[in-house]
Structure 1
């Protein structure tokens, strides 16, 4: 079903794989052939540096949603924004409901609308479309590049290289700056065969995630989909696989395009945006994943990660063992905070689930929902605990499903059909009951991402599946069933796009700014607090220590109802690490009091009594360190932080609480490390085993001449643990661009642009 090559490969004529095992005869050298990938060509066209080793990318378009666009625009305004220089689309698909906070959500929407008018952008009202569906329908184009402030910004199936990053990277584009990265590696994803009946895009995606996440095979690389199997997939199917590539931790994706993609653009009235893309006759890839589509079976990603995959057939045959394995993993993920068991889900030897959901950028596509309707037509979900909800990804998709009868089939079976909304994907809608298990065609199933609150003793969990098998389970009233077990006649209905739906509701400035428009603010929309430049010497207190194999951004700053405070930096920061380490905020604030004293030109030792013996130890060996040349802040340690969302709040919340650094064995994604840097936080690395760290939670670290370290472009940092004496340790910074070093020195991106 799946093979990962140990070496790079040459791909000849798009079909022949030639592994580079040494001495291999290929028509081109490795260096020449590497320039024949689709990714190389698109990156070259958008690179402004003149150097393909060190890229400076300018994107064609930008897109954000209502968890991120307020902070992005506020940051850009503080840095001198006058007009959006390229198309910038503000969608409203995350905080569409009034979950908490009164007028907060709609205040942010009105902020977005007035900013779109003032600066020349596009505003998509709530419930019209989820961010990525609107981008597919209205923004993507062959050979283009799009940057979005959401991690699932992936439009490779349509010939667009798209990347999801934290908001500060979009700020750079709004200020006519560039996205600076090393030339990424490119991994070929060779698709062969054809999916069996009942297998959907989520099944293929989960199989690929399961094969590549744990070993980091595609980490921060571009996935390039090639091979004869691509042509066997519809545009919707490809899109469904593509959007889930984020969960492999890749940087971006791109696919070969053909007549099916041309038809997609024609359906959406944009035939001029189609471009045929193929690798050259001899292309070199840094690795290759061979996928036999014919052998993929309905899959399920069990809690608490999209890579925790099994075939549904395998799970049903080994329920006791696999459920026990999930429970053991939960001991790590949940830290023993609550009792967690799935054993009660086994009823008469079958796995029973309480909820099914098809939603968002991954599940809410036209073909997925049509297939679900075909499966459940004439059946019903019963009157038990099981519930079934479907969220079409856009109003045009919803309208077509109404017209072709799919909505009637779903509702007739007991399904609730709702509007375009991302809530089920991040805990702002359809939160299950305590101890319930939900199956979802959505993007993530991290701990508590479905909306339960560990700190309140609540736990429910999510398994990811394809819409088809979710519908099959719904047809069996909650008992887990693969779609391949159902005898179904799939209608394969044709999609018709009604563009007038957007024309009637979406505000599109056509790039024309109107400076006379007054931005509408709500009382919760706050400016960023002032942030200090990097001091000459730095004292850090470790205020949280996380030893999970991977720490997600949802654990660093929980999603769900907390996102209603995303326009209030200090308000949102109160939720930082609240599900993983509830004591974090209090500890960080205690340390921050010392830095605030320094900024007020008063004595930090009076503000933080425990700092006195620490300073005494430091000054024994460094007598020159003291008033006027120190900064005091907090840091956290995590083994591998930053998997998941692109939300920059995972870093900015630490910063506004006085965080100066993270320490990690590695960073899960480039975007999280970039977020740290853009908020002026040092992205330290330690090679020490996480179970034998030279420091612990509560310890103070002293980093002498840290400013000089950054100015002189050093990568190895001498630091000390301040105990009874100073114990020297080594930290590393990894590669940083000149601009990133300057941002760190200035204290954050806002300061950097202010000069």
Structure 2
């Protein structure tokens, strides 16, 4: 099914040669041969640095949604932005329901429209489109680079290298700065064969995530898709695989282009944007993953990660064992004090019964997925028992075509609920399952309580990821888990899915203001929209108090700052910070606030008794107090900057980790003025809340380029020397931390 080689290879004559055989085949050295990759061609075109070792990228366009754009614009505005220098699309697909907090969500939308008018942007009103569908339809094209403040910013199937990052990186582009990274590894994803009927893009994607995530095979690399199997896949199918590459922790992705893409761009009215794109003969890759599409089966990713994937056949053969493992994972990962009812109780007569199905978002709600689901359900009823199904088309043009072709009618007749173009179920802002319920979803993630449950209130629900085809097959079977390949008749997925694109809904509602800024336009602020609180520069010495210690193998951004209703407060940094780690470590916020209160007192009155006691004899004029979060591998998942900014608002000065799960989370830590420490063997230090780290001369060390810094770990009154590391920290990153955050850095 998948074969991975974690060593350098050359691509020649449709085969891969080990790097050591390159000279005998007359191939150049790897440094020269890597120029033959599609990634190199695109990166070199967008690089403004002198060489290719350290890249300084400027993007062709950017996109944000209504959870992120207020903070980004506020950051850029505070740093001197006067207009959007690149096309910047503001979509409204996350806080669309406006169901929490009174007016605050719609206030953000009003702010977004006023910003698009003032600075020259494109504003897509709520319920018009999911952010990534809109960018595929309107902006993605071969050779382009797009930056988005959402981790699933992936348009590789269109030949575009797209990257999802935290808000500060978009603010940098708005300030005409660059995206700075070392040249990434490029991994070939070589596709052969064609998918079997009943096997959808989510099945391929889950198999790929399972094969790569745990071992970090493509971490921070570019995944480059090509091979004879590409021609068997429609554009929706390709995009469905591509968007899930985020779950492998890769940096970006790009696909070879062909007539299928050319014809699709023509349907979208952008045929002139097409260009051929493919690897050159002799191109060098840092590894290769060969994917035999015809050997992939319908898959299911069990809670609580997309990599926890099995074939549906394997899952059904081992129900008791695998569901027991999910039970154990729930107790451990959710920190439950009382064990909930076992999922094994959902096994009835040897069959597993689920409670809910959802087909939604940038991965699930595409035209081809919904057409297949409608065909599978046509003439069949979901039934009136516990199971129910929701379908969210990904954009209004898609919804319009599904309606005209009768597929929406078929789904409604089967008992499915048709919803608007909205991302909500993907992050807990729509279709939250009942307590104890098990939901199967064609969406992007199934992290702990991302679906909206609150374990601290005794609520536990579960999400498994599946393809729309198998979700429809399960719905047809009344909620009994069923793979699409088990149906007596299985509709196949053609390489070209007939589709007529009508963008009339956009022409009727979207504000197209790119390149037309109006400085006289006033920004419209709702009462919840607040400026970032002032942050202070890095002090000479630092005494850190551990306010949370997380020993899970991976900590997601959803755990650092929960999604769902919390998202409504994202335009108010102080209010939002109250939710930091609230579902993972409810005592984190009060601990951090206590440290911050003393630090503020230190700055106002260094001689105060509380200050001298907290500083343990260190100089109050030169020693700052800050809080620290220790997690073994933080930052998997969302690009949301608030996972870091909330810590900073609460007085956070550093993170300490064995490694960072993603480049984007580490960047968020740095851009918000916190030190991204790592340490060897930190798991064995047995750090607990209340422990302290004293770091003398930290400012001088950071300013001087030190990659190792001596510190003292203080636990239970005992002191121990430890070494903290800052590997690969650039000069600019150091200056940002020295200044206190990105806003301060640009203000200087």
What's the TM-score, normalizing by structure 2? 0.98
Measure how far apart 1:20 and its partner are.
2.4
Tell whether the 8 Å contact from 1:337 to 1:454 is kept in structure 2 after alignment. no
Measure how far apart 1:338 and its partner are.
4.3
Q: Could you say what secondary structure the match of 1:462 adopts?
A: strand
User: Matched residues in 2 for 1:305 and 1:468: separation?
Assistant: 20
User: Matched residues in 1 for 2:323 and 2:472: separation?
Assistant: 22
Aligned to 2:640: 647
Measure how far apart 1:689 and its partner are.
4.6
1:697 counterpart (686, 689, 704): 689
User: Matched residues in 2 for 1:653 and 1:150: separation?
Assistant: 17
User: Matched residues in 2 for 1:689 and 1:521: separation?
Assistant: 44
For residues 176-203 of structure 1, what are the alpha-carbon distances to aligned partners after superposition, in whole Å with 9 as ceiling and x for unaligned?
A: 0000000000000011111000100000
The answer to whether residue 744 in structure 2 is matched with residue 744 in structure 1 is: no
Aligned to 1:682: 675
User: Matched residues in 1 for 2:50 and 2:368: separation?
Assistant: 42
For residues 109-142 of structure 1, what are the alpha-carbon distances to aligned partners after superposition, in whole Å with 9 as ceiling and x for unaligned?
A: 0000000000000000000000000000001111
Measure how far apart 1:93 and its partner are.
0.1
Q: Could you say what secondary structure the match of 2:36 adopts?
A: coil
Tell whether the 8 Å contact from 1:639 to 1:664 is kept in structure 2 after alignment. yes
User: Matched residues in 2 for 1:90 and 1:712: separation?
Assistant: 40
Aligned to 2:578: 574
Distance verdict in 2 for CA 1:338–1:462, change over 3 Å: farther
For residues 508-543 of structure 1, what are the alpha-carbon distances to aligned partners after superposition, in whole Å with 9 as ceiling and x for unaligned?
A: 113110011111100000000000000000000001
1:707 counterpart (695, 699, 708): 699
Aligned to 2:539: 535
Measure how far apart 1:98 and its partner are.
1.7
Give runs of aligned pairs for residues 185-334 of structure 1, distance below 5 A.
185-334=185-334
Question: Mean Cα displacement is larger for which, 341-350 or 536-545?
Answer: 341-350
Q: Could you say what secondary structure the match of 1:262 adopts?
A: helix
Aligned to 1:407: 408
The answer to whether residue 110 in structure 2 is matched with residue 110 in structure 1 is: yes
Give runs of aligned pairs for residues 169-568 of structure 1, distance below 5 A.
169-340=169-340, 341-486=342-487, 487-489=489-491, 494-568=498-572
Measure how far apart 1:24 and its partner are.
5.8
Aligned to 1:18: 17
Q: Could you say what secondary structure the match of 2:383 adopts?
A: coil
Give runs of aligned pairs for residues 105-144 of structure 1, distance below 5 A.
105-144=105-144
What's the TM-score, normalizing by structure 1? 0.97
User: Matched residues in 2 for 1:198 and 1:694: separation?
Assistant: 49
Q: Could you say what secondary structure the match of 2:123 adopts?
A: strand
User: Matched residues in 1 for 2:520 and 2:164: separation?
Assistant: 32
Tell whether the 8 Å contact from 1:10 to 1:19 is kept in structure 2 after alignment. yes
Distance verdict in 2 for CA 1:717–1:498, change over 3 Å: same
Give runs of aligned pairs for residues 49-198 of structure 1, distance below 5 A.
49-198=49-198
The answer to whether residue 669 in structure 2 is matched with residue 665 in structure 1 is: no
User: Matched residues in 2 for 1:705 and 1:172: separation?
Assistant: 29
Measure how far apart 1:74 and its partner are.
0.3
Tell whether the 8 Å contact from 2:209 to 2:307 is kept in structure 1 after alignment. yes
User: Matched residues in 1 for 2:195 and 2:600: separation?
Assistant: 60
For residues 454-481 of structure 1, what are the alpha-carbon distances to aligned partners after superposition, in whole Å with 9 as ceiling and x for unaligned?
A: 1111010100000000000000010000
User: Matched residues in 1 for 2:609 and 2:280: separation?
Assistant: 65
User: Matched residues in 2 for 1:337 and 1:159: separation?
Assistant: 49
For residues 58-98 of structure 1, what are the alpha-carbon distances to aligned partners after superposition, in whole Å with 9 as ceiling and x for unaligned?
A: 00101000000000000001000100001000000000012
Question: Mean Cα displacement is larger for which, 628-637 or 331-340?
Answer: 331-340
Measure how far apart 1:325 and its partner are.
2.0
Q: Could you say what secondary structure the match of 2:146 adopts?
A: strand
Aligned to 1:622: none
Measure how far apart 1:561 and its partner are.
0.1
Measure how far apart 1:695 and its partner are.
3.5
For residues 265-305 of structure 1, what are the alpha-carbon distances to aligned partners after superposition, in whole Å with 9 as ceiling and x for unaligned?
A: 01100001112110111111101001100000000000000
Query: How many matched pairs?
Result: 742
User: Matched residues in 2 for 1:578 and 1:394: separation?
Assistant: 33
Q: Could you say what secondary structure the match of 2:101 adopts?
A: coil
Tell whether the 8 Å contact from 2:549 to 2:687 is kept in structure 1 after alignment. no
User: Matched residues in 2 for 1:491 and 1:54: separation?
Assistant: 42
Measure how far apart 1:21 and its partner are.
4.6
Measure how far apart 1:700 and its partner are.
1.4
Q: Could you say what secondary structure the match of 2:24 adopts?
A: coil
The answer to whether residue 721 in structure 2 is matched with residue 722 in structure 1 is: no
Measure how far apart 1:696 and its partner are.
2.5
User: Matched residues in 1 for 2:722 and 2:517: separation?
Assistant: 53
Distance verdict in 2 for CA 1:491–1:725, change over 3 Å: closer
Distance verdict in 2 for CA 1:4–1:24, change over 3 Å: farther
Tell whether the 8 Å contact from 2:86 to 2:174 is kept in structure 1 after alignment. yes
User: Matched residues in 2 for 1:543 and 1:181: separation?
Assistant: 31
For residues 131-172 of structure 1, what are the alpha-carbon distances to aligned partners after superposition, in whole Å with 9 as ceiling and x for unaligned?
A: 000000001111000000000000000000000000000000
User: Matched residues in 1 for 2:626 and 2:615: separation?
Assistant: 14
Tell whether the 8 Å contact from 1:7 to 1:21 is kept in structure 2 after alignment. no
Tell whether the 8 Å contact from 1:49 to 1:55 is kept in structure 2 after alignment. yes
Tell whether the 8 Å contact from 1:374 to 1:490 is kept in structure 2 after alignment. no
User: Matched residues in 1 for 2:400 and 2:83: separation?
Assistant: 35
User: Matched residues in 2 for 1:337 and 1:442: separation?
Assistant: 29
Question: Mean Cα displacement is larger for which, 536-545 or 319-328?
Answer: 319-328
For residues 407-426 of structure 1, what are the alpha-carbon distances to aligned partners after superposition, in whole Å with 9 as ceiling and x for unaligned?
A: 01000000001110000000
User: Matched residues in 1 for 2:401 and 2:475: separation?
Assistant: 23
Tell whether the 8 Å contact from 1:374 to 1:488 is kept in structure 2 after alignment. no
Distance verdict in 2 for CA 1:603–1:130, change over 3 Å: farther
User: Matched residues in 2 for 1:643 and 1:238: separation?
Assistant: 23
User: Matched residues in 1 for 2:247 and 2:337: separation?
Assistant: 26
Tell whether the 8 Å contact from 1:93 to 1:126 is kept in structure 2 after alignment. yes
Structure 1: gaps of 5 or more residues: 620-624
Q: Could you say what secondary structure the match of 1:43 adopts?
A: helix
For residues 684-706 of structure 1, what are the alpha-carbon distances to aligned partners after superposition, in whole Å with 9 as ceiling and x for unaligned?
A: 1011151x216332111100000
Q: Could you say what secondary structure the match of 1:288 adopts?
A: strand
User: Matched residues in 2 for 1:334 and 1:299: separation?
Assistant: 25
User: Matched residues in 2 for 1:725 and 1:351: separation?
Assistant: 53
Q: Could you say what secondary structure the match of 1:35 adopts?
A: helix
Q: Could you say what secondary structure the match of 1:25 adopts?
A: helix
Measure how far apart 1:551 and its partner are.
0.3
User: Matched residues in 1 for 2:118 and 2:22: separation?
Assistant: 60
Measure how far apart 1:332 and its partner are.
2.6
User: Matched residues in 2 for 1:25 and 1:542: separation?
Assistant: 56
